[in-house]
Chains A and B, each alone.
Chain A
Amino acid sequence: MILGQLNRKQTLDIAMALGKVLLKSGAETSRVEDTIERFCAKNHYPDVNVFVTPTVIVLGDEQPDGYSCVCRIRSRSTNLRTVSEINDFLYNLDKWPLDYEGTMDYFNNKLKETPPYNDKLICLASGLASAGFSAMLGGNSHDFIAAFVTGLIAMLVLKLLSGYRPSAFWENALAGATIAIVAIMCCAVSVQCTMDKIIVGAVMPFVPGVAFTNGLRDYMAGDLVSGNSRVAEAILFASSIAVGLAFVLQAWHKWGWDLW
């Protein structure tokens, strides 16, 4: 039972932990702001102000001697299960069993816990997504298999290199280069493969379509700053993938089999 027991500092602490988990799981900024405001209002502190962009959470009140905190978010991934769990937390707040320390531990563990699907499954899913998209966009059965292999290997390379913490630009450029290399190999193996359809399918797990659309949704909801940053992020990712792919493809067109 947590409701009605927290003082102002504890409320803001939990609200910050909540927002941090939510933003790191890839929730929209308006959802994070809404969740924090609702949590504070339910604990009878409706005057708390919160400002969220994809990289920072600012939480505080309007008094000069009030308590306020800032949290910088450096890495984000998408984890819809956590978003759903925090939604449950907020809606069942009056039945929540843990006290203040327990809740803080719960959120800190959430930041550390491994995602529900492991890396092997993620690679398989990436392959399956690539194959499905290459078929949706008009590829034949050879393209289906080639796109599966390409998407799987590209995600595998990313997962293997994630220990070196590459920046987002290099990560995507590398994915693009891997896709181009594997697609060229697949075309060398089977004549019936069309390079375009393989690449079109295999880039789908990496292209930032959802990020761009979410950026426009942020604009429409009035979150101009986070809209800006999401759209900029999407354009950066798209160009980094294109750079990686175009680099390999142009080298291939220029020298071809001489590269061996």
Chain B
Amino acid sequence: MVMGLYESFLYSFLATIAFAVLFQAPKRTLIISGVIGAIGWVVFVYLRQYLEYNSFHANFLATVALALISELSARMFKQPATVFLIPGIIPLVPGLGMYQGMKQIIEKSYDNGVTTLLTAGTDSAAIALGIMVIASIFRVIKISATKNFWTK
């Protein structure tokens, strides 16, 4: 199933804004977190379905893209980056995989269930890794801007 990128953008924008409301995000950040989530999902769809990357790499690169925008907009809007990141990763996180894996285990198809759960685990790890990479880079930039490493 290959989906158009514009459609993906629209639907993930809607879903991300709805999730931002579920997470009680501040009103003025709703639109921007919608855009961030949509960008993450479009990057993922493009890499996964058009360029046929594997799931780990597609998730990692999509998360890097959306975490970068989240950190930048956090600086711009004077908010913590979490406000943008938590709704933003919503289209990517493998909640569905975890649910399906558990369901397959309950229905006694253990092989499929464990495979699905482990895939969900590696996808989550990719997302967490992407967030950590960008957050660490920004922290290094911030610290090296406040105190000059070379002179003192």
Contact check, B102 vs A136: say whether CB atoms are below 8 A apart. Answer: no
Which listed segment binds B: A1-9, A66-74, A205-213? Answer: A205-213
For the complex, what is the distance from the CA of A178 to the CA of B56, rounded to whole Å?
A: 33
Contact check, A213 vs B128: say whether CB atoms are below 8 A apart. Answer: yes
A182 — which chain B residues lie within 8 A by C-beta? Answer: none
Taking chain B's interface residues, is the majority helix, strand, or loop, or is none over half, making it mixed?
Answer: helix
For the complex, what is the distance from the CA of A31 to the CA of B17, rounded to whole Å?
A: 24
A239 — which chain B residues lie within 8 A by C-beta? Answer: 102, 106
The answer to whether A168 has its CB under 8 Å from any CB of chain B is no
Contact check, A208 vs B80: say whether CB atoms are below 8 A apart. Answer: no
Q: Which of A90-118 contact B (CB under 8 A)?
A: 91, 115-117
> Which residue of chain A has the shortest Cβ distance to B120 in the bound complex?
A212
Q: Mark B1-42, 1 if CB is under 8 A from A, else 0.
A: 101000110011011111111111111010000000000010
Tell me the minimal C-beta distance from B150 to chain A in angstroms.
Answer: 26
The answer to whether A245 has its CB under 8 Å from any CB of chain B is yes
The answer to whether A28 has its CB under 8 Å from any CB of chain B is yes
Taking chain A's interface residues, is the majority helix, strand, or loop, or is none over half, making it mixed?
Answer: helix
Knowing A133-B15, A205-B22, say if A241 contacts B82 (CB, 8 Å). Answer: no
> Which residue of chain A has the shortest Cβ distance to B104 in the bound complex?
A242
> Which residue of chain B has the shortest Cβ distance to A133 in the bound complex?
B15
Contact check, B24 vs A81: say whether CB atoms are below 8 A apart. Answer: yes
The answer to whether A57 has its CB under 8 Å from any CB of chain B is no
For the complex, what is the distance from the CA of A129 to the CA of B18, rounded to whole Å?
A: 5
Q: Mark B93-134, 1 if CB is under 8 A from A, else 0.
A: 111101101110111000000000000110011011101100
Tell me the minimal C-beta distance from A171 to chain B in angstroms.
Answer: 15
| Most chain A C-beta atoms within 10 Å of own C-beta, residue among B14, B19, B105, B132 | B19
Residue numbers of B with Cβ under 8 A of A are: 1, 3, 7-8, 11-12, 14-27, 29, 41, 78-80, 82-83, 86-87, 89-91, 93-96, 98-99, 101-103, 105-107, 120-121, 124-125, 127-129, 131-132
Q: Which 6 A-B pairs have the closest CB atoms?
A: A209-B95, A132-B15, A207-B95, A209-B93, A129-B18, A242-B102
Residue numbers of A with Cβ under 8 A of B are: 26-28, 31, 77-84, 87-88, 91, 115-117, 121-122, 125-129, 131-133, 135-138, 200, 203-205, 207-210, 212-214, 216-217, 219-221, 234-235, 238-239, 241-243, 245-246
Given contacts A129-B14, A213-B128, A216-B128, 15 further A-B contacts (CB under 8 A): A27-B82, A78-B86, A80-B25, A80-B87, A81-B26, A84-B79, A84-B83, A87-B79, A125-B22, A128-B15, A205-B22, A212-B95, A212-B120, A241-B99, A242-B105
